[in-house]
A and B are shown apart, each in its own frame.
Chain A
């Protein structure tokens, strides 16, 4: 059974978003997503300063066998990316909500309004 922390918001494409305040949002992939992807071995993230658009590919997560698109859960600008994942892609499997965060985005306040809460995300993945 996947972990779904209560305090995060979720996209239907299996990214989580944490509201850090002041229009900053931390983004990662869910526990369910890492289970589906299998062992991750390579991560390609957008550079700081680049704009990303909700629902559009902004990076790539690769497992041994397959490449999967990273879909931006919000429209905004990349403020930071987790450079350590280049050396430690396995963190995405070990700690998807913690040290394997992917990006910090700058976006408008209340940008997460369209996203799912934990209960709704739980129902989504149960139905899949």
Chain B
């Protein structure tokens, strides 16, 4: 039996804004408010507002919190020690190196950390972390506490004008001094300069009851509501993976263009999956996740990628029409021997279309990352 879709505190607000709603990871969320392209462009050129309350905050605290998270996560939390308010992107893997989730963890102060988990993974992640903790520390050890936060929702205000508009709405000019991957906590709001669009912006974690007033104020300041459709085209242009599509538990970080989230520098740090990931790094992964720029046509998930000689190289994991670049782009898992710059073919409805292999991202902060005309000439 399928459970009824969960709704965010902004559900009625979305309907009032004319959203077309869709089921995503067990949540009913806006797909778009009329035009995905208009919403995508608003984020690239000005500012857009996403309700991402399906993503789940979880607080980890106590004298053992730091050491436990250094054990549970592939990236090293020690990087955050010196700076309260600093955030880190990381993968969480199982013993064989397969990715369980990707997440951002923020150091909130002495013995206080906050994780934000993907909607589809939140329940499994929570169970995994609690299970790990029982093995790692004694059961019921009061020096390590987990707290899920169903009371909190999340908004993402993204785009070149997002910071300025949010600072004005909150009357918080110091927000603009906040650097990327830093968090400012004020008056019950948790304001992180992070996002999933390839533009500047903030993710705002707030008590659910306050989301409506925040959304109304941002809308009045000219921020465009944006749905999941635009979120997907923005993140793919930004070369950012979607869990469950570009990576699953069958993929390691190295196979997913995320080897940089695996920190092996501290040789004394024992963490889940370390042995498998170190062995893979030493041997070199057999597959990798790359970008494709298409000459024409739009590649879709599952499209087969081949060499000009007809040798199968791999498969598209995400593909769409990139609204800002105005052409088909894709992420594809290819044999690791496929070099950047290789000319390949992608199968679309039975016909081969020419493409070039690039290192993601495709777009960052107002400009394309590749000279497309030259690459495809």
Contact = CB atoms under 8 A, between A and B. Distances in A.
A65 B320 contact: yes
A62 B300 CA distance: 11
B349 A64 contact: no
Contact of B36 (A38, A42, A60, A62): A38
A39 interface: yes
A42 B36 CA distance: 15
Interface in B1-46: 31-32, 35-37, 40
B37 A42 contact: no
A110 interface: no
Interface in A38-73: 38-39, 41-42, 60, 62-67
B229 interface: yes
A66 B349 CA distance: 12
A62 B229 contact: no
A42 B298 CA distance: 8
B298 A62 contact: yes
B293 to A, nearest CB: 15
Given A41-B321, A41-B323, A64 B233 contact: yes
B232 interface: yes
A61 to B, nearest CB: 11
Interface size class of B (residues with CB under 8 A): 10 to 19
Contact of B229 (A41, A65, A67, A90): A65
Contacts of B349: 60, 67
B229 A64 contact: yes
Contacts of B323: 41, 64
A3 to B, nearest CB: 16
A63 B31 CA distance: 13
Interface in A13-31: none
Contacts of B300: 66-67
A65 B32 contact: no
Contact of A39 (B36, B232, B298): B36
A121 B300 CA distance: 31
A39 B320 contact: no
A39 B321 CA distance: 11
Contacts of B40: 64
Contacts of B320: 64-65
Contacts of B233: 64-65
Nearest to B233: A64
Contacts of A66: 300
Interface string B213-238: 00000000000000001001100000
Contacts of A38: 31-32, 36, 229
Nearest to A57: B349
Contacts of A60: 349
A67 B301 CA distance: 11
A42 B32 contact: no
Given A39-B37, A67-B298, A67-B300, A62 B32 contact: no
Contacts of A64: 36-37, 40, 229, 233, 320-321, 323
A87 to B, nearest CB: 11
A63 B233 CA distance: 11
Interface in B340-377: 349
Contacts of B232: 65
Counting chain A CB atoms within 10 Å of each CB, the highest count among B32, B37, B323 belongs to B37
A96 B293 CA distance: 30
Top 3 A-B residue pairs of the complex, sorted by shortest distance between their CB atoms: A41-B321, A39-B37, A64-B321
Interface of B: 31-32, 35-37, 40, 229, 232-233, 297-298, 300, 320-321, 323, 349
19 contacts: A38-B31, A39-B36, A41-B37, A42-B297, A42-B321, A60-B349, A63-B36, A63-B321, A64-B36, A64-B229, A64-B320, A65-B36, A65-B229, A65-B232, A65-B233, A66-B300, A67-B298, A67-B349, A90-B37
